[in-house]
Amino acid sequence: MRPRRERRVAETDPGAMRMMDEFRTAGAVEALRAAIAAAVPRPVKLMEVCGTHTMAIARAGVRQLLPPTVSLISGPGCPVCVTAQGEIDAFLALGECPGVVLASFGDMLRVPGSTGSLETLKARGTETRVVYSPMDAVRLAAASPEKEVVFFGIGFETTVPTVAAALLEACRLGLRNFSVLSAHKRVPPALAALATDPELAVDGFLLPGHVSVILGLEPYRFLAEQHQIPCAIAGFEVTDILEGILHLVTQIADGRAALANQYPRVVRPEGNPTARALMERVFTPTDAVWRGIGPIAASGLALRPEFAPWDARQKFALDWDRFANVPEPPACRCGDILKGIASPHDCPLFGRGCTPARPIGPCMVSSEGTCAAYYRYQIG
């Protein structure tokens, strides 16, 4: 029997949401598995563009459910992983400034830069703080007026509005000892780069659910209309993912390319206009470097000029040229893995020199990293 609360939701708004117990029925999974096998016309290569999808696919064994003609590859959907080595080094360099407190999400604590990590800086005496939201960093600055609190802004469109709200709150409070080092990334420009990459030649994109909650549908239409690549936004349950894959292989079989929204219970066509307006009030698109992909025009987000007093890059006069061409760790293939042209097993360090306990590249240490997923769930 469905729990009482879940039954009430379905009765008051049928079709608005399917509940967790319905998702996990073996019959639904088997039916989708059979439908995919029947629909796929030829060997196809599909890319999931979301780190949460990568982990969900690995955890649920989705690859083992698919016919051998369907190959799933992981793309640059881990925000920690795509952060360029130079951006990490720049943030760590700020720890050398007197009175600076480095604040970041916990995923960044053990991500290695060229000369260490936040964790190793902390061991050497640099004050670092793991925060659960950007607003925590603002509160820290308010409570410590004698210190400079720098928040490392990483992530895609999902998290940018929360950083924007925190910065606006710092402005309202007049906290000049708070700043943001923005390494935020925009997903659509990266998808455009992948769509035109002949080395990748992907047949379809499984698009991110979380980012799409903010963006809606329009920013992805160019993939189908200009590049003729089938796309499907999907949720994160097993049947969500399988339904998204079924959308893709059905389009391929029909010889068409469209944008399907498998996740309408969460993703609206218009997205979240309020969150986007907040993001656009504080940030403006700028060129950015993605680990593995390289420079992509207008794929990053910089603080608008009026927020210069809270821009760590300007406040600390960072010599960005110093960090522009920092190389990847030797022998690490994290960049190729993010680009989808290599799997973790292609990296000579995977499971040997690079493990979750002693990570060399961010793909192994991040909770959404492809290498971490392959290692944790023993994907062969």
If you average pLDDT over residues 29-49, what whole number do you get? 96
Q: Is 380 helix (H, G, I), strand (E, B) or coil?
A: coil
Q: Is the pLDDT of residue 12 over 50?
A: no
Domain count, the chain: 1
pLDDT > 70 fraction of the chain, expressed in percent and rounded: 93
Q: Determine the pLDDT at residue 24.
A: 56
Asked if the structure places residue 149 within a domain, the reply is yes
The DSSP H or E segment spanning 10 is helix 4-12
Domain assignment of residue 74, yes or no:
no
Q: What's the pLDDT score for residue 321? A: 79
Span 366-370, average pLDDT? 92
E runs forming strands in the chain: 44-48, 70-74, 100-104, 127-130, 148-153, 178-182, 204-207, 231-233, 259-261, 283-290, 294-303
- Judge whether residue 4 has pLDDT over 50: no
d(CA 227, CA 92): 39
Cα–Cα distance measured from residue 245 to residue 204, given in angstroms and rounded to the nearest whole number? 9
Bigger pLDDT: 258 vs 8: 258
* 68 found inside a domain: no
With a cut of 80, say whether residue 13 has pLDDT above it: no
* pLDDT, tens digit, 9 for 90 and up, residues 135-190: 999 999 999 999 999 999 999 999 999 999 999 999 999 999 999 999 999 999 99
Q: How many Å from the N-terminal Cα to the C-terminal Cα in the chain?
A: 38
β-strand pairing of 100-104 with 204-207: unpaired
Task: Return mean pLDDT, the chain.
Answer: 91
Q: Which has the closest alpha carbon to 211: 372, 379, 51?
A: 51
| pLDDT over 80 at 376, yes or no | yes
Residue for token pair 């893709």: 248
Determine, yes or no, domain membership for 281: yes
Q: What are phi and psi of 102, to 5 degrees?
A: -90, 120
Instruction: Report pLDDT for 69.
Output: 97
**Would 129 be classed as within a structural domain?**
yes
CATH number at residue 139: 3.40.50.11740
pLDDT band, residue 292 (cuts 50/70/90): confident
Is 372 part of a structural domain of the chain? no
Q: How far is CA 77 from CA 164, 190, 228, in A?
A: 21, 10, 21
pLDDT for res 38: 97
Helices (H), 255-315: 273-282, 312-315
| Average confidence (pLDDT) over 5-27 | 44
Q: Which of 13-17, 36-40, 46-50, 355-359 has the lowest mean pLDDT?
A: 13-17
Confidence category of residue 198, pLDDT binned at 50, 70, 90: confident
Tell me the H-state helices in 116-257: 118-123, 134-143, 160-173, 187-195, 209-215, 221-225, 238-254
**Assigned domain for 303 exists:** yes
pLDDT for res 77: 93
Query: Residue 67 contacts by C-beta under 8 Å, 6 or more apart in sequence?
Result: 36, 37, 40
For residue 327, give the DSSP letter: P
Which residue range forms the structural domain that includes residue 111?
81-183+271-287+297-323
Domain for residue 56, yes or no? no
Give me the phi and psi of 118, to 5 degrees please: -60, -35
- β-strand partners of 73: 47
Averaged over 218-230, what is the pLDDT? 97
